[in-house]
């Protein structure tokens, strides 16, 4: 079995499978997935696009307890591939926080074998996953592709429902605001975030050992009104821990006209999280959704001798054979 270190070192084109050896793997007694056994030195990388309702999960990142999205996906992959967790090396593009949702989370994993068809793999994974997590797309990935390090930009949406009475169908995916908001002031303030800035003031203390670069590039920050629903859309090269929620929380205070729009550059320049805390407040995670992730186009090119990507299998109704009288 090939180690991940050796797999990561491979930058050659996608290896060609050996046509002389095939095997049939039965998955959950429901679907058969044909895998082609390659040479011992081969490694294959696969990309997943995932959507999930983050309500009952402690975020994406793997933890022993409580449950996380990565845990659920790994469990399905282990059952599908019959490989141990350490060999799959599942990596997610974004470590979404507890309660945060996703429509376009991206992850990759590796196997020592190739597949002839990804539709059945796709079906098997969704058959094993809980109903609040879905694989939207399964595709082969080049050796150069990395779910996290190949990212060019990420797009997040935060939804705010502004009305005296909360829409019960929005309660799990939008923050309820009962104040009248000055959206023009919010748009003016959002423009100050656009560009390359040090966002130290908007980062919460993180529990991991990584020391992230506080300088991020925000490409756009739009405030869109859709009736009672206000959708804040932000695209950036990357984000610090809870940065998006902290930016939105400040814009909400500006929308309530508690503080002026030009306070944004002042707080950015302070590079002090305590300065933001004087004007802002805690914003819950359920209004936030990771919508999509953009990558270097060269890293998305399909490798040779690989199966076509899968968007899921469509079922058809066969012609009814019942005789009508």
Residue with tokens 């058959």: 127
Write the secondary structure of the chain as one string of H (helix), E (strand) and C (coil).
CCCHHHHHHCCCCCCCCCCCCEEEEEECCCEEEEEECCCCCCCEEEEEEEEECHHHCCCCCCCCCCCCHHHHHHHHHHHHHCCCHHHHCCEECCCCCCCCEEEEEEEEEEECCEECCCHHHHHHHHHHCCCCEEEEEEEEECCCCCCCCCEEEEEEEEEEEECCCCCCCCCCCCEEECCCCCHHHHHHHHHCCCEEEECHHHCCCCCCCCCCCCEEEEEEEEEEEECCEEEEEEEECCCCCCHHHHHHHHHHHHHCCCCCCCHHHHHHHHCCHHHHHCCCCCCCHHHEEEEEEEECHHHHCCCCCCCCCECCCCCCCCCCCCCCC
What's the Cα-to-Cα distance from 228 to each of 24, 189, 289, rounded to whole Å? 53, 21, 18
Residue 97 annotated in active site: yes
Catalytic residue among 41, 53, 87, 97: 97
- CB neighbours (10 Å) of residue 120? 20
| Measured distance CA(203)–CA(199) in Å, rounded | 7
| Measured distance CA(178)–CA(164) in Å, rounded | 5
**Short-list 157, 178, 176, CA closest to 168:** 176
Catalytic site positions: 97
């Amino acid at each position: 079995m090939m180690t991940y270190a050796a797999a990561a070192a491979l930058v050659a084109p996608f290896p060609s499978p050996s046509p002389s050896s095939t095997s049939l793997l039965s998955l959950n007694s429901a679907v058969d997935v044909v895998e082609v056994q390659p040479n011992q030195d081969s490694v294959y990388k696969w990309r997943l696009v995932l959507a999930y309702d983050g309500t009952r999960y402690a975020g994406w990142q793997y933890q022993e307890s409580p449950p996380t999205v990565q845990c659920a996906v790994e469990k399905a992959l282990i059952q599908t591939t019959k490989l141990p967790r350490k060999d799959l090396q599942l990596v997610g593009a974004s470590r979404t926080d507890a309660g945060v949702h996703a429509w376009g989370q991206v992850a990759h994993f590796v196997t020592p074998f190739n597949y002839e068809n990804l539709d059945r793999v796709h079906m098997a994974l969704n058959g094993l996953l809980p109903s609040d997590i879905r694989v939207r797309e399964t595709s082969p990935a080049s050796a150069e592709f990395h779910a996290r390090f190949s990212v060019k930009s990420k797009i997040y949406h935060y939804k705010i429902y502004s009305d005296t009475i909360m829409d019960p169908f929005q309660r799990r995916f939008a923050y309820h605001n009962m104040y009248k908001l000055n959206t023009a002031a919010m748009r003016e303030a959002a423009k100050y975030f656009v560009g390359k800035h040090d966002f130290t003031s908007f980062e919460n203390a993180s529990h991991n050992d990584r020391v992230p670069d506080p300088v991020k590039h925000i490409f756009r920050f739009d405030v869109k009104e859709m009736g009672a629903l206000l959708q804040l859309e932000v695209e950036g090269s990357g984000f610090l821990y809870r940065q998006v929620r902290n930016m939105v929380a400040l814009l909400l205070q500006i929308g309530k006209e508690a503080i002026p729009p030009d306070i944004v550059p002042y707080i950015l320049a302070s590079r002090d999280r305590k300065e933001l805390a004087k004007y802002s407040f805690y914003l819950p995670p359920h209004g936030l959704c990771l919508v999509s992730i953009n990558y270097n186009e060269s890293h998305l090119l399909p490798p040779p001798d690989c199966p076509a990507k899968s968007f899921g299998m469509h079922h058809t109704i066969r012609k009814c054979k019942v005789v009508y009288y």
